[in-house]
Amino acid sequence: AMYVAAAAAAAAAAAMVAATAAAADGGAPDGHMQRLGTFGNNVGPPEEHDTTAADYVDMTAREFYLQYIALSKPLILRGLARRWPAHRLWASDEYLVSKIGNYTVHAEKTKKEVRGEEQVPLRFADYVTAAAASPEKYYVVDDLPHVLYDDCALPAMMDCGSYNVEIPSWWVSTGGTLSVLHMDSIHNMHCLVAGKKDFVLAAPSQREAFYVSTEAEGGTSPLDVEHVDLEKYPTVATARYHAFTLDAGDCLYIPATWLHHVYSRERNIAVTSWFGSTGETDPALPQREITYDAATCKNQPTDAELDAAARGGGGRRRR
């Protein structure tokens, strides 16, 4: 722990020296006022698996727990959500309007996230019309409507009672949304059904370098992610992070307390399943500790079976 703290302090000092030198030379630091994820110490994507490969074998709940959750290790699962009926059915707004046109959703009024901003309730059909008329506005952030559950299926390695999967959220926009850099106290599996998303993902050890305070709401950074001020926040220039893109059908496991920032492109729909906790939670929230229970998980269905169940109306679906 002392070594990590010393290394972080040294990195911070080096970043400040570099920024000071740049200022002395009359120039701004490299990456100054650029979008987060386009400069600095990008180490590339985390581990990824191609679930569409002919030789891919579905991961078991035990493997997922021991190799990723227990190690706080992120994972990209390319193509996993292509198995969902949603990948085909949600390709156009017409289907969604036919299913939930009169359903009330809650939308943020601007696409650049402002924590604490009041959401606007409106019918989904009205959201589609409003978003088309004002592309710079409206971003649905809400619970996934129950009537759409059959279009999705939990990944097999999560379909176990011990994972305590919560009500899934969904995120809908015409693209161009920007989240703040933040961390969540619970784990999540983020599956992109339509569009593309650029992610910045950083380990908890990088909190200080990104100026993230656990005292702030949700553990947020004060950075303007669209225009990062490296003169005000010099250590961001040397902070270590993963930058990568998810395509439609890809899923990303984000361990609890990992920092992340998301920029969406094109018409965009994602479903997030929240589960478990690390103990580093908001005291106001219930603790949701993950335990691997072999008795509960040993007879888990495969992803293909879950997909067939979602399409055919039987079996186990997204809870």
Non-local (6+) Cβ contacts of 57 within 8 A are: none
Rounded to whole angstroms, how far apart are CA atoms 212 and 232? Answer: 14
| pLDDT top residue among 300 and 211 | 211
Instruction: Flag whether pLDDT at 176 surpasses 70.
Output: yes
Distance CA 83, CA 290 (A): 26
For the cut 70, the answer to whether the pLDDT of residue 315 exceeds it is no
Residue holding tokens 């225009």? 227
Distance CA 224, CA 22 (A): 21
Does residue 8 come out as left (phi exceeding 0), alpha (psi in the -120 to 50 range) or beta?
A: alpha
Measure the CA–CA gap between 33 and 35, rounded to whole angstroms: 7
Where residue 216 falls among pLDDT bands split at 50, 70, 90? low
pLDDT of 101 higher than 60: yes
The secondary structure element, H or E, covering residue 251 is: strand 251-254
Per-residue pLDDT tens over the stretch 41-89? 999 999 999 999 999 988 888 888 889 988 999 999 999 999 999 999 9
Confidence class of residue 195 from pLDDT cuts 50, 70 and 90? very high
Whether the per-residue pLDDT at 12 is higher than 80: the answer is no
Cα dihedral 140, 155, 248, 244 sign: positive
Q: What pTM does this model have?
A: 0.85
In this predicted structure, which of 89-98, 248-257, 258-267, 289-298 has the lowest mean pLDDT?
A: 289-298
What would the two tokens of residue 192 be? Answer: 């992109």
C-alpha to C-alpha distance for 31 and 38, rounded to whole angstroms: 8
Alpha carbon distance 29, 22 (integer Å): 6
Q: Which pLDDT band holds residue 162 (cuts at 50, 70, 90)?
A: low
Overall average pLDDT of the 107-136 stretch: 92
Q: What is the CA radius of gyration of the chain?
A: 20
CA distance 168 to 145: 9
- Quote the mean pLDDT of the chain: 84
CA distance 104 to 126: 9
pLDDT given at position 215? 61
Instruction: Tell how far CA 158 is from the center of its chain.
Output: 17
Sequential DSSP letters for 159-225: -SGGG-B-PPEEEEESS--BPPSEE-SSEEEEEEEEEEEEEEEE-GGGTTTTT--TTSTTSB----T
Q: Which tokens is 222 given?
A: 């004060």
